Amino acid sequence: PNWEHRVRASARPRSKTGFTVLVTGAAGFVGTHVSLGLKRRGDGVLGLDNFNQYYDIGLKKARQGLLERSGIMVVEGDINDVVLLRKLFDAVAFTHVMHMAAQAGVRYAMQNSGSYVHSNIAGFVSLLEACKMANPQPSIVWASSSSVYGLNSKVPFSENDRTDQPASLYAATKKAGEEIAHTYNHIYGLSITGLRFFTVYGPWGRPDMAYFFFTKDILRGKEIKIFETSDHGSVARDFTYVDDVVKGCLAALDTAKKSTGSGGKKKGAAQLRIYNLGNTKPMPVGRLVSILEKLLKVKAKKKVIQMPRNGDVPFTHANITLAHTELGYKPTTDLEMGLKKFVKWYVSYYGSKKKKSSW
Ligand code: NAD
């Protein structure tokens, strides 16, 4: 197919750093920003995305347009397509894989459980199999989630805290991904770094996330529901700005050891790491809404509901000491500054009028 020719012609030679990275989920929110970040510093980047229908494909296509204008090709395909993966790894000697493809969201699982198993478990295994067989074997950095800490964790969450109480199928599949990563590390010598993201937000964001649909509904004058719990006080999340997360992802790539193909017990063993990438400043959802009201200059119609939202962990808070020490990770964007950038993007993309859209 056309992409094979284009991959051979473009992806490999364009790396100025010696890094050639396959980004899965490249047309997704974080995948787009990570791809741009890699490209900006001179890495060779090739994207892969199946453009699933979880939310507005138009938005994914617009992100793809942005990437292509920056010289990043996005191949349309699924990480479960082993033939496609083999062709990609044959065509390009990837040094790294940045694995951002997943079925995200917690409530969608109630009707679409198979999609989580397909992308987050089977798809991850399929990708790791391709990495295992590739020559050279790439190092892998992938997105886990703060959701693995589940319901009973103390806060702030540290990497060694218990993760045995997932509050959603999504969380369970991310936890399963971490176990699978362990296996491919110690049996097959793949170097794998899992990053537990905490509620990432920013321009080109995901329409299913609260900051995004609150913005849409506030602008349309529609009532917004704010879920609170009486046991834990306000629901609060450790909102983390996407540029900070991208810096963490790039640092994880830079510090990743080479895959050795020799298993964990031998000399030069490949590494397996897990890091929290959060902001360390949990914010009540009510505060998020008041910042949005200020930025949009519109008073929200609020309905406060005294219970947690189904599938959500009521309070998230990252301890980022490990990422700071080992990756130099240091988030710098506070919620108001980050939302300002999001709102600016939102208004330029959708307009500030109460117009209809497909999502
Ligand atoms: P997203 O849905 O915008 O991006 C994921 C992309 O992967 C989508 O474009 C989708 O089409 C693609 N994809 C899904 N299944 C695929 C498959 N089988 N094959 C190929 N492509 C596939 O989500 P996001 O917010 O950008 O999340 C990126 C990663 O970070 C995901 O792994 C997600 O679970 C994780 N994460 C995100 C957050 C957050 O707050 N955004 C928090 C924790 C973890």
Please tell me the distance between residue 181's alpha carbon and the centre of ligand 1 in angstroms: 17
Q: What is the pLDDT of residue 266?
A: 61
Nearest-5° Cα angle at 104, 31 to 138? 45
Please tell me the distance between residue 177's alpha carbon and the centre of ligand 1 in angstroms: 14
> Does 356 reside within a domain?
no
Q: What is the pLDDT of residue 234?
A: 66
- Residue of the CA atom closest to atom 27 of ligand 1: 30
φ/ψ (deg, to 5) at 144: -90, -145
Q: What is the pLDDT of residue 1?
A: 63
Q: What does pTM read for this prediction?
A: 0.95
CA Rg, the chain, in Å? 20
Most informative mutation of 67, 197, 212 for ligand 1 (most atoms within 8 A of CB): 197
> Does 74 reside within a domain?
yes
Please tell me the distance between residue 266's alpha carbon and the centre of ligand 1 in angstroms: 34
- Residue of the CA atom closest to atom 19 of ligand 1: 78
Q: What is the pLDDT of residue 232?
A: 53
> Does 53 reside within a domain?
yes
Pocket of ligand 1 (CB under 6 A): 24-25, 27-31, 49-52, 54, 60, 78-80, 100-104, 119, 123, 143, 145, 197, 199-200, 206
Q: What is the pLDDT of residue 13?
A: 43
Q: Are 48 and 77 in contact (CB under 8 A)?
A: yes
φ/ψ (deg, to 5) at 192: -135, 130
Residues 145 and 238: their CA atoms lie apart, in Å, by 12
Please tell me the distance between residue 278's alpha carbon and the centre of ligand 1 in angstroms: 17
Q: What is the pLDDT of residue 49?
A: 98
> Does 86 reside within a domain?
yes
- Domain limits for position 177: 2-198+241-277
- Residue 83 sits in a domain whose CATH number is 3.40.50.720
Q: Which atom of ligand 1 is nearest to the CA of 118?
A: 18
Residues 133 and 128: their CA atoms lie apart, in Å, by 9
Amino acid identity, residue 358?
S
Total of domains in the chain: 1
* DSSP reduced 3-state for 274: strand
- Residue of the CA atom closest to atom 13 of ligand 1: 101
> Does 36 reside within a domain?
yes
Please tell me the distance between residue 262's alpha carbon and the centre of ligand 1 in angstroms: 30
Most informative mutation of 46, 50, 195 for ligand 1 (most atoms within 8 A of CB): 50
Q: Which atom of ligand 1 is nearest to the CA of 79?
A: 19
Amino acid identity, residue 345?
W
Active site (catalytic) residues: 170
Please tell me the distance between residue 244's alpha carbon and the centre of ligand 1 in angstroms: 17
- Residue of the CA atom closest to atom 18 of ligand 1: 119
> Does 75 reside within a domain?
yes
Positions in the chain short of pLDDT 70: 1, 8-14, 229-234, 263-268, 353-359
> Does 326 reside within a domain?
no
> Does 226 reside within a domain?
no
